[in-house]
Structure 1
Amino acid sequence: MAKKASNSDKRILLVDDDAEIIESLRLALEAQDYQVLVARDGNQGLALIERETPDLIILDMMMPKRSGFLVLERLKRLGEKKHRIIMITANEGNRHKAYAEMLGVDDYVRKPFPMDRLIQSVDRLLSE
């Protein structure tokens, strides 16, 4: 499959505390020619969002220090430019999905997920 030349200027921030998930996502996204930034918890994630203004954020729900929900709430309060956000979670509850959507996530993906499902979502959101 041919890579799109435009991917190389797109920056994606991964915010997750699971090293294996970060590594597999990073490899898959870099294979699609995206630039990948990594934060290991919500506080680091917020700092990188402010400093780097990524094109897309892939955000885990459950993390130490600051959960994905607290990151979303903070972004919403800051009211800065609308961030494209994919939330990933092992949580099965529909209540959480509804809350995440209310806070403005663009996609909600339950773990474990097929990598191509996530890549399709990334490609779709970054081409809009």
Structure 2
Amino acid sequence: MADSPKRILIVDDDGEIIQALRIALESNGYEVLVARDGNQGLALTVREQPDLLLLDMMMPKRSGILVLEKLSRSEEAHPPIIMMTANEGNRHKAYAQTLGVVDYLHKPFPMDRMIDAVRRVLGDQED
């Protein structure tokens, strides 16, 4: 990537997941930003305009679903969103997809599955 690295905002309250994602993403050439709750995630999305959001569903202060609802109602463009959750319910997945989520990963997920999803969404996949 000769251009500046693509920026990914991780919005999750689990420090271990944040650290694992940060290591995997940075080792693949991405710049990583972190928010530890939904409110911080919204603020950073507006201020930093990342290329991609990795959004946890269950968080303190504002859940991932509430973040999605807020972004989908906004007149401002927002980055593509990959939802991450330990919730197995299909109802949440279907609702998230109606709000524009481009991929939906169940925790725990293999890190290569996440990297593949990120590359695909950002157009970094080599065909």
Task: State the TM-score, normalized to the length of structure 2.
Answer: 0.94
Paired residue for 1:39? 35
The 1:72–1:6 alpha-carbon spacing in structure 2 relative to 1, beyond 3 Å, is farther
**Number of aligned residues:** 124
In the alignment, the residues of structure 2 paired with residue 99 and residue 38 of structure 1 have an alpha-carbon distance, to the nearest angstrom, of 25
1:12 to 8, 11, 36: 8
Contact 2:45 2:78 in 1 (8 A): no
User: How well do the aligned residues superpose, as a CA RMSD in angstroms?
Assistant: 1.3
Paired position in structure 2 for 1:54:
50
Name whichever structure is richer in helix by fraction.
1
Equivalents in 2 of 1:7, 1:95: separation in Å? 39
> Does the CA-based 8 Å contact 1:43-1:65 persist in structure 2?
yes
3-state SS of paired residue (2:101)? coil
| Alpha-carbon contact 2:49-2:78 (below 8 Å) kept | no
Query: Pairwise mapping of residues 1-128 of structure 1 onto structure 2 (< 5 A)?
Result: 5-6=1-2, 8-127=4-123
> Do the aligned partners of residues 14 and 6 (structure 1) sit closer, same or farther apart at CA in structure 2, a change above 3 Å counting?
farther
Output the amino acid matched with 2:77.
K
The TM-score, its normalising length taken from structure 1, stands at 0.93
State the Cα deviation string for residues 22-68 of structure 1 (Å, max 9, x = none).
00000000000100000000000000001000000000000000000
Deviation at 1:77, TM superposition (A): 1.1
**Which segments of structure 1 move beyond 3 Å, counting only runs of 4 or more?**
none
Fraction of identical pairs, as percent: 68
The answer to whether the 8 Å contact 1:8/1:34 transfers is: no
Matched AA of 1:70? L
Residue 107 of structure 1 and its aligned partner are, at CA, apart by 0.2
Contact 2:9 2:54 in 1 (8 A): yes
Which ranges of structure 1 fall in alignment gaps of 5 or more residues?
none
